[in-house]
Amino acid sequence: MTYFTAHTQLDELKQALENEPEAHLIICFCAQWCRTCQQYQKDFKALAKQWPDHFFIWIDVEELPELLGDEDVEDFPTLQIQTTKGTVFFGAMLPHSEHLDRLLRDFQHQDLPPVSTGPGDLRQLITTAT
């Protein structure tokens, strides 16, 4: 499984992250009340099937605000991409799965340095979430 809804599958996510420490994390920060997020979730989940080596993680910022660290999310959806080097992308993105797919394809062919924005390492944030 490469798709996780963090607030309902936190234990499964923790286990998967332990078992696959090299997996790239594609994180979508959203809110349950956001209609745009509700519509995007289906596409985000479908995109996970196209990228089985990556973990696609849906985080409701009101259910698990501690997974945002000290960051604030002002626009939904806000995406974060983490590799073993750290966060390589953090920001709002139009809710079109083809935009994320294109970004992942571009990243696949580049060795990007980490950026200084975004929450910290999700693996570490999850260990302190419960």
CATH number of residue 44's parent domain:
3.40.30.10
**72: which 2 tokens?**
């604030």
Predicted confidence pLDDT, tens digits, the chain (130 residues): 599 999 999 999 999 999 999 999 999 999 999 999 999 999 999 999 999 999 999 999 999 999 998 888 889 999 999 998 899 999 999 999 999 999 999 888 787 888 988 998 998 888 877 6
pTM: 0.93
CA 128 to chain centre: 17
Domain tally, the chain: 1
At 76, list the tokens. 């939904």
- Helices 35-50 and 97-108 pack at an angle, to 10 degrees, of 40
Domain housing 106: 3-127
- The pLDDT score that the predictor gives to residue 108 is 83
| CB neighbourhood size of 46 (10 A) | 12
pLDDT score recorded for residue 10:
93
Nearest Cα residue to 42 out of 53, 55, 52, 56: 56
